A and B are shown apart, each in its own frame.
Chain A
């Protein structure tokens, strides 16, 4: 029996190192959560309080005006729906395409495998601002401007996902699929029935990562959709800026709150499976 288990059973005082660790973690969490608190609380503050001095964390007077203004200034439901379609569509395609490609790069042998891997990773190293214009020209040539197809297609596979899943597949044990291959299963069978089910934690991780990043993406939806109605909630928030460039803090926080709410809810929903199961992501 390890020492750890013994001390759990008894009602001993916690070890000093644990106390210190707890204090450290609490302090860090407070710093980490402070801006979140600000976003949530400022969303409910009236204008006078937002710019008041001395400032206070909690509103003295709670108001729904900011939320009301966000929903009236922006076609809010439409934008949120667009965000779901965009982020959800990208995630669905990316998980599929990335896992197929990652499997090939991890488990299959072919000429030029090394070179291909380097080319794929290199695509992560150029800032999006540089490829934006040629990409937009291409999508416009395809006739996809202001359409969901055009919004989703360029993200339907991505280098990070491929690399991430490849690392995972490399670490999975090969005994079972070796046996299956001897039994005559096709490579795709092996992939679908044996490897994928074991990859659920990694897929969940990548899925969350992809969904969050695309939901929060600003530049691509902003530039790609020339009609206000086709934008996402993230690009829509930029419209809350006043004519002189002043960003009304309360309204912007309210908008941000509404924008991240679906993400936080989704995250909390799957966080148990996600964080616990990332233990077997295989990035060791």
Chain B
């Protein structure tokens, strides 16, 4: 594709996250029509997602093991969630992971999108594809490949860096390096998806706005702040929320690379959920922990939506 502009059409302001409001009237009739559209998806989600979620909620108030006898224990599991030091450790680790992953992934994605929107960059098509390929690899395979690369005995990276005089040591068993390492693998795998979304968002900003800013004497940083960022805010909100949700649920590569170690330094909340449920057969407790995670994620996401919603209002004024 040559560096042409998207097809000319009347410029529309960004879609607000809350959706537009319609003229009222005939609500009941329209509701019935809407239901027909919603039915297939709602049946599937209601039956196969929401119903198990309700089941899990019920389980969280029991000492169930998934099979056999179960007894009602009320809020006991939830009390354990908030008082058990291992859970606290997992929460701290999960927060640490989220703080490492989310900005890194989003900034990398945004930075590369800004670089690749430049029409003069050679081989843009190749780079766009290359940066997206990790997304296609599964987390387990990615974790396996990276573990092999940084293996203290036979790792290629260790060998190359050793040649440059940098001793990597045993990264995955180092209490300070293990968490950044597993966060890095996730950034590697997921940033390509966010990158593509940012690229789309950037390409949709009409160059006329940049021209106007340039004419007004704005430099590159000023143009970025006053043209790019505001018009990207919806995209940014979308990417941030989903990146954060992905970070809060980190599991696959941690399971493969460190198993939660060294001595619990990479144990995340979902690792605890998996261990409690599948290793210790404490399904009731695992469900309670899952619901606390759900509540935390929901609150954090709503906060983000409200924050970006407010910025939108500022812009449209």
* Residues of A participating in the B interface, judged by any CB pair closer than 8 Å: 2, 4, 7-8, 14-15, 18, 21-22, 24-25, 28-29, 31-36, 38-39, 42, 50-57, 93, 96-98, 100-101, 103-106, 108-111, 113, 116, 119-127, 129-135, 137-139, 153-160, 162, 166-167, 170-171, 173, 187-188, 191, 205, 209, 212, 216, 218, 234, 237, 247, 249, 252-253, 256, 259-260, 263-264, 267-268, 271-272, 275-276, 278-284
- In the complex, the answer to whether A101 meets B232 with C-beta atoms within 8 Å is no
Task: Give CA–CA (A55, B273) in the complex, Å.
Answer: 38
Chain B stretch 99-145: residues in CB contact (< 8 A) with chain A: 108, 112, 115-116, 118-122, 125, 127-142, 144-145
Among A101, A129, A216, A280, contact of B138 (Cβ-Cβ < 8 Å): A216
Closest to A209 in B: B193
Closest to A211 in B: B136
- In the complex, the answer to whether A33 meets B231 with C-beta atoms within 8 Å is no
Task: Give CA–CA (A106, B22) in the complex, Å.
Answer: 10
- In the complex, the answer to whether B37 meets A100 with C-beta atoms within 8 Å is yes
- B17: which A residues are within 8 A, CB to CB? 167
- B16: which A residues are within 8 A, CB to CB? 170
Task: Give CA–CA (A90, B110) in the complex, Å.
Answer: 31
Query: Given the interface contacts A32-B130, A281-B200, does A38 sit within 8 Å of B145 by beta carbon?
Result: yes
State how many residues of chain B have any CB contact under 8 Å with chain A.
Answer: 114
- B134: which A residues are within 8 A, CB to CB? 32, 35-36
Query: Given the interface contacts A55-B155, A276-B1, does A212 sit within 8 Å of B135 by beta carbon?
Result: yes
B101 to chain A, nearest CB (A): 16
- A125: which B residues are within 8 A, CB to CB? 245, 248, 293-294, 297-298, 301
Identify 17 residue pairs between A and B in the complex whose beta-carbon atoms are under 8 Å apart, listed by A's number.
A7-B120, A25-B112, A28-B108, A38-B145, A53-B154, A55-B154, A93-B44, A100-B38, A123-B49, A125-B301, A130-B273, A134-B59, A216-B138, A263-B136, A275-B125, A284-B201, A284-B204
Interface centre among B9, B141, B196, B298 (most CB of A within 10 A): B141
